[in-house]
Structure 1
Amino acid sequence: MSYHNLKVVIKNRVALVAIDHPPANALNKSTLTELEAMLDSLEQDQQVKVIVLSGEGRFFVAGADIKEFTALSGDDAEAMAVAGQRVFNRIESYPKPIIAAINGACLGGGLELAMACHIRLAAAEAKLGLPELNLGIIPGYGGTQRLPRLVGRGKATQMILTSEMIGGDEAHRIGLVDAVYPLDQLLAEARQLAAAIADKSSVALRLALAAIQASTTETFEQGLAREAALFNEAFCSEDRKEGVAAFLEKRKPQFNDR
């Protein structure tokens, strides 16, 4: 499948997806549409087990396309927010792991996109923030909901109300990203992490992600019940049999993703 604003390279069960919308990789309507199409395509691709999402050039995503705002009415703005939220919700609940490799400016919609990913790695040089209040608006793609869950309500409120931008090291310190690396090592580290994950059974990966997602959408008791049901599904898989046999035989499992 061809894209105008995305670059997709598949290698060793890992899809490397780079947002390529010069000059700042802004999330315009067409880029969001392509992201959704990419998710559809890669979900069905049996050769892809993990996705690494980054930005082409010096930016991850520097925000929404402000030029598109000038043509919006109030009702249009709400529809745009709902459409963006739909895509990012899809990422958060995606059945294959998505790793954000934040290589540069990650602002507004870019940070909202990164927060929807399952794992976030950042370059020390990256800049992260939700500066929407500088434009007289608020985050609309889930930023007011996901940021407090990651860094706490107080810090999230401070970042949103002041439009504060922080670097990769500070983002790691407060729990916004999971690891930070020098820029020239970031993608290699992301690929190495993706490769380690891709060695696992795709069945177990899908079920683990579903169980983890339940921790944010259901009560603790409901989450435990969901985990038990998913554990049972994993236990009945062919890959469970292979995994147990490999453990007993002291060898590396050869999963068939069934």
Structure 2
Amino acid sequence: MTLPEVERPVVRLDVDGAVGVIRLSRPPLNVLDRAAQVALHRAAEQAAADDQVRSVVLHGGPRAFSAGADIKEMAAMTHAEMVRHAAVLQAAFDAVAAIPKPVVAAINGPALGGGCELALSADVRICGTEARLGLPEILLGVIPGAGGTQRLPRLIGSARAKELIFTGRQVSAAEALELGLVDLVKPTDQVLDSALQWARRFEAGPALALHAAKTAIDRGLATDLAAGLAIEQTAFAGLFGTADRTAGMQRFIADGPGHADFTGR
């Protein structure tokens, strides 16, 4: 889609070595108005296209990941305007989910509504002990509109997702970990460093194989097992024409099964 110009850099991509850090910068709570959604879409496309970037971190700063969409902006919209607005919002989050590289969300403070849906667009979620997550849209008389009703059930199961979406309640970091909504909980001041450490594991990794693995998993989840296995088979065979596969197998043959993997372990 053609993206309109935005006046301020409310979201930006910083490249730190092989890691692209997509930073939300609309204090105090990183509310995602239309300008932020457009800027997020651009940052995701930049991260996807930059060959230097091997993995991505989503970060909203030490106080808040994102409190969601701009309710005041949406309250003034007509139905027709909301149809267009919802398309822009979902396209931004879809662009994040489609980044063909490992993506980790570093979550401090609230990740609510659209903020939680943005975190769901990542592959892995690391949050601080003071983080709060939830989809409270039902309390406003609407439902999640940027992937929440689809990505959350796929992540934690339909029954648990329905309870959270039907009630709109927020969960603590500890409960989010128990539910499987996040993957790791760290002290607040360690969240970004932990996310960067996770992301840097892939700086020397086989980019094409990582892309193929992510694509096979994501596309497979959207279909039945037989179709998913066919997707996997095609992706697996396709990698046999790449330099990454040649180098990886030659290294295995030379060093044996005990050699260190690309993450340095």
Bin for the TM-score computed over the shorter chain? over 0.9
Call closer, same or farther: CA 1:129–1:148 in 2, change over 3 Å.
same
Question: 1:93-147 CA deviation, whole Å, 9 max, x = no partner?
Answer: 3212211111110000000111111111111210000111222222111111111
1:162 to 149, 167, 181: 167
SS in 1 for 2:126: strand
Question: Match for 1:102: what amino acid?
Answer: I
- 2:132 is equivalent to residue 127 of structure 1: yes
| 2:149 maps to 1:141 | no
**Partner of residue 45 from structure 1, selected from 46, 50, 57:** 50
Q: Are 2:213 and 1:208 equivalent residues in the alignment?
A: yes
Q: Flag as ranges the 4+ runs of structure 1 deviating above 3 A.
A: 251-254
CA distance in 2, matches of 1:61, 1:130: 12
Matching residue's letter, 2:209: A
- After TM superposition, the structure 1 = structure 2 runs for residues 224-235 of structure 1, keeping only pairs within 5 Å, are 224-235=229-240
Give the SS at the match of 2:65: strand
Partner of 1:188: 193
Amino acid at match of 2:215: A
The 5 Å alignment of 1:16-95 reads 16-95=21-100
- Normalized against structure 1, the TM-score is what? 0.92
| Matched position secondary structure for 2:202 | helix
- Tell me, in whole angstroms, the C-alpha distance in 1 between the residues paired with 2:30 and 2:92: 17
Change in 2 beyond 3 A, CA 1:244/1:253: farther
- Give the C-alpha shift of residue 9 in structure 1: 2.2
Residues 22-60 of structure 1 show CA distances to partners (whole Å, capped at 9, x for unaligned) of 121001101110111112222221110101001024000
Instruction: Tell me the TM-score normalized by structure 2.
Output: 0.90
Contact kept? 1:243, 1:253, Cα under 8 Å: no
Q: Which moves more between the two structures, 134-143 or 30-39?
A: 134-143
SS in 2 for 1:94: coil
The reply on whether 1:242 has 2:247 as its aligned counterpart is yes
Deviation at residue 167 of structure 1 after TM alignment:
1.0
Q: Which runs of 5+ in 1 are unaligned?
A: none
- For the 8 Å contact 1:247–1:253, the answer to whether it is kept is no
- Unaligned regions of 5+ residues in structure 2, if any? 1-6
Question: Do residues 179 (structure 1) and 184 (structure 2) align?
Answer: yes
Q: Secondary structure at the match of 1:87?
A: helix
Instruction: Please give the alpha-carbon distance, in whole angstroms, between the structure 1 residues aligned to 2:251 and 2:8.
Output: 41
SS in 1 for 2:145: coil
Once residues 16 and 92 of structure 2 are traced to their aligned partners in structure 1, the CA distance between those partners, rounded to angstroms, is: 25
Could you tell me how far apart the structure 2 residues matched to 1:82 and 1:58 are?
28
State the 1:253 CA deviation.
7.7
Q: Tell me if structure 2 keeps the 8 A contact 1:246–1:253.
A: no
The two structures, once aligned, show a CA RMSD in angstroms of 1.8
| Number of aligned residue pairs | 253
